Structure 1
Amino acid sequence: MFRIGNGYDVHRLVEGRKLILGGVEIPHTLGLDGHSDADALLHALCDALLGAAGLGDLGHHFPDTDDQYKGISSLVLLEKVNASLHEKGFTVVNTDATLVAQKPKLAPFIGQMRENIARTLGIDISQVNVKATTTEKLGFAGREEGLAAYAVALIESR
């Protein structure tokens, strides 16, 4: 049986934080504000995977009111989500994600993001796709107030 899920996440860009996307630290003057490392790409992907398995959402599993998740790498959260999928008898077939940001240019970092995701999920890099786009200076992402990530995931029962 195949199941599909989608995910969305958005974080504000602020001074004094690192910009981490797909587990990659990206040089930039601003970073993402959040309780964990605020990796919007991995948060959207976690939500897509959890949704596909009918397991709720990221905030339910890792609430921002719990100090054990303060500053945690979202790769660790993705690893825990993958373990939950395996416990329920699911494996990841493929994932696809889109990052929406005016700046910085993300294309040079996409290969490493894909490698990080594939390694964490225990799947081949060919099963992971990440894209980046701008909003042509429209909306909050275009004004560089924040960035967004969309993800879909296909899982199957083992």
Structure 2
Amino acid sequence: MSKLRIGLGVDFHQLVEGRDFWLGGVLVPHHQGALGHSDADVLLHAICDAMLGAAALGDIGTHFPDTDNAYKNIDSKILLAKTTELIAAKGYSVVNVDATLCLQAPKIKPYVPQMQSVIAKLIGVTEEEVSIKATTTEKLGFVGREEGVVAYASALLEKQ
């Protein structure tokens, strides 16, 4: 059995007026926020799924279902911390995470260092092991119309 495992996560959330916009555990000022059962942090959700997938532990909905009121409006940083505990219980630790946000607006570059810091602390790596990139869809599709946001993440785990 290999000591290294890779996982891929993806998450989508609708953007609506009247919600805070949480990305990577950071409150990003914007006129819209993501709609969801939790705080709808699409980036942290994709990272959770990548980590869970790498450890063959299913997905975020398996562990934190949106049908459970315990997770209503929960801070997704708590979900990422719990995900880190789940993979540790299986003998894994994170080597690195690489993520891409797809959103038309706002520009997130000023918030990336803070996101890296938050995520690194939660998953037990250095900030240099958390890569966050962003792209627009050149005004194409639901992301381009600013109706939603998407995040993709890959996580490399190592068996301890």
In which range does the TM-score fall when normalised by the shorter chain? Answer: over 0.9
In the TM superposition, residue 123 of structure 1 has moved relative to its aligned partner by: 1.0
1:90 corresponds, among 80, 89, 92, to 92
Q: In the alignment, what sits opposite 1:45?
A: 47
TM-score w.r.t. the length of structure 2 is: 0.98
Residue 31 of structure 1: aligned partner: 33
CA shift, 1:9, in A, is: 0.2
1:114 corresponds to? 116
Offset of residue 122 of structure 1: 1.5
Pair 1:57-2:59 in alignment: yes
Answer yes or no: is 1:154 the counterpart of 2:156: yes
In 1, Cα distance between equivalents of 2:19 and 2:82: 24
Question: How far has the Cα of 1:70 moved from its partner?
Answer: 0.5
CA distance in 2, matches of 1:102, 1:143: 8
Give distance in 2, aligned partners of 1:131 and 1:113. 11
Aligned with 2:83 (options 64, 81, 84): 81
Q: How many residues align?
A: 158
Shift of 1:78: 0.3
Tell me which stretches of 4 or more aligned residues in structure 1 moved more than 2 Å: none
After superposition, give the CA deviation of every residue in 1:17-63 in whole Å (9 maximum; x if it has no partner): 00000010011110000000000000000000000000000000000
Q: What residue identity is the alignment partner of 2:133?
A: K
What residue is the counterpart of 1:127 in the other structure?
129
Runs (5+) with no aligned partner, structure 1: none
Looking at structure 2, the residues matched to 127 and 106 of structure 1 have their Cα atoms a distance apart, in angstroms, of 19
Unaligned runs of at least 5 residues, structure 2: none
Deviation digits for residues 86-141 of structure 1, max 9, x if unmatched? 10000000000000000111111111111000011111111110001101101110
**Alignment of 1:9 onto 2:15:** no
Structure 1 length as normaliser, TM-score?
A: 0.99
